[in-house]
């Protein structure tokens, strides 16, 4: 196996509008990571730390894959990096792996870039001989990602777009409702925007269908020390970085989490605005 410098970007692809895929040499992370885990990335010494789900890995080649959507300043900076560049700081694997076992018939629901996390979960579930149905959705066709990869490991794949530009027009929950009406579902995994995971959990809760969601609160250190990523699950305070990121969707206080995730929106908007006004260069 050829050895490279740690955190070296080996490959970059554009998956969709503002969505980039990176394959990175990381012998330490690739050696131990599992489905559902993430890394913390920092671009520079003064940069913020952001969590990114590990989308894929190759233990023999010592690589991991990350999918990044350019939303804030840091993700825009990362999106500009190219093969041959080295990510200065990359810590992981962090978080608890997904609880993968034989359930029977499992529906995996991915919204937006949450599809990048659903992919390794669905693959691991299929390896445990579950019947895996996947539903992926986005606002429009140019934001649908990893469709072909999911087709390869799913028993059936449903694609939806909010505007009807591709696949079926509508929300992922509408497809989930139909599946539940037509057949017995033993478990649901959902990853995506909070409002989507909330809607999925509200749909399955009265039916008693176990539902796992991967939460994405604001994280700082990724080790549970700062307390920034605290969430309430069944009335108890949990820290997504060490107790999660996967939790029982029926017990998550989504309303509180949605409010907490909005607390830095204005600062994030201003930071990105200043960065773009400078032409997207370094501070």
Shared domain check, 189 and 109:
yes
Question: Domain residues for 89?
Answer: 8-94
pLDDT in tens, 179-214: 999 999 999 999 999 999 999 999 999 999 999 999
Among 63, 94, 125, the domain-final residue is 94
Whether 191 is in a domain gets the answer: yes
Whether 249 is in a domain gets the answer: no
Among 169, 202, 235, the domain-final residue is 202
pLDDT given for residue 1 in this prediction: 55
pLDDT given for residue 263 in this prediction: 66
Shared domain check, 124 and 187:
yes
Between the CA of residue 206 and those of 50, 135, 200, 203, 211, what are the distances in Å? 35, 21, 11, 7, 11
The enclosing domain of 62 has a CATH number of 2.40.30.10
Whether 246 is in a domain gets the answer: no
Whether 134 is in a domain gets the answer: yes
Shared domain check, 22 and 45:
yes
Whether 127 is in a domain gets the answer: yes
Shared domain check, 194 and 125:
yes
Judged by DSSP in three states, 47 sits in coil
- Please determine, for residue 283, whether its predicted confidence score (pLDDT) is greater than 80: no
* Prior bond of 161 cis (ω within 30°): no
Where is pLDDT greater, at 44 or 166?
A: 166
Among 202, 223, 251, the domain-final residue is 202
Whether 214 is in a domain gets the answer: no
Give the number of domains in the chain: 2
Shared domain check, 115 and 182:
yes
Mean per-residue pLDDT for 72-83?
A: 90
Whether 109 is in a domain gets the answer: yes
Least confident of 45-59, 192-206, 213-227: 213-227
Q: What does the CA dihedral 23, 194, 213, 235 come to, rounded to 10 degrees?
A: 140
- Please determine, for residue 63, whether its predicted confidence score (pLDDT) is greater than 80: yes
pLDDT in tens, 79-124: 999 999 999 999 999 999 999 999 999 999 999 999 999 999 999 9
The enclosing domain of 175 has a CATH number of 3.40.50.80
Whether 90 is in a domain gets the answer: yes
Where is pLDDT greater, at 283 or 216?
A: 216
- Asked if 10 and 83 count as a contact pair (C-beta separation under 8 A), the reply is yes
pLDDT confidence bin for 2, thresholds 50/70/90: low
């Amino acid at each position: 196996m050829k050895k490279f410098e740690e955190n070296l970007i080996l490959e970059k692809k554009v998956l969709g509008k503002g969505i980039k895929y990176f394959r990175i040499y990381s012998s330490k992370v690739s050696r131990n990571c599992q489905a559902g885990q993430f890394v913390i990335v920092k671009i520079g010494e003064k940069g913020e730390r952001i969590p990114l789900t590990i989308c894929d890995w190759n233990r023999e080649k010592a690589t991991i894959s990350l999918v990044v959507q350019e939303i804030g300043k840091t993700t825009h900076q990362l999106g500009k990096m190219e093969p041959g560049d080295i990510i200065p700081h990359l810590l992981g694997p962090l978080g608890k792996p997904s609880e993968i076992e034989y359930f029977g018939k499992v529906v995996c629901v991915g919204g937006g870039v949450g599809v990048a996390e659903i992919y390794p979960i669905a693959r691991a579930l299929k390896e445990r001989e579950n019947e895996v149905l996947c539903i992926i959705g986005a606002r429009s066709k140019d934001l649908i990602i990893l469709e072909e990869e999911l087709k390869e490991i799913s028993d059936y794949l449903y694609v939806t777009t909010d505007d009807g530009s591709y696949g079926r027009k509508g929300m992922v929950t509408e497809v989930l409702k139909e599946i539940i009406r037509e057949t017995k579902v033993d478990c649901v995994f959902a990853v995506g925007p909070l409002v989507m995971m909330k809607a999925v959990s509200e749909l399955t809760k009265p039916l008693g269908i176990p539902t796992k969601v991967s939460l994405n609160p604001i994280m700082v250190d990724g080790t549970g020390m700062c307390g920034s990523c605290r969430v309430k699950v069944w009335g108890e305070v949990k820290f997504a970085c060490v107790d999660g990121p996967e939790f029982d969707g029926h017990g998550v206080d989504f309303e509180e989490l949605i409010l907490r995730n909005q607390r830095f929106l204005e600062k994030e908007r201003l930071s990105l605005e200043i960065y773009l006004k400078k032409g997207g260069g370094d501070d």
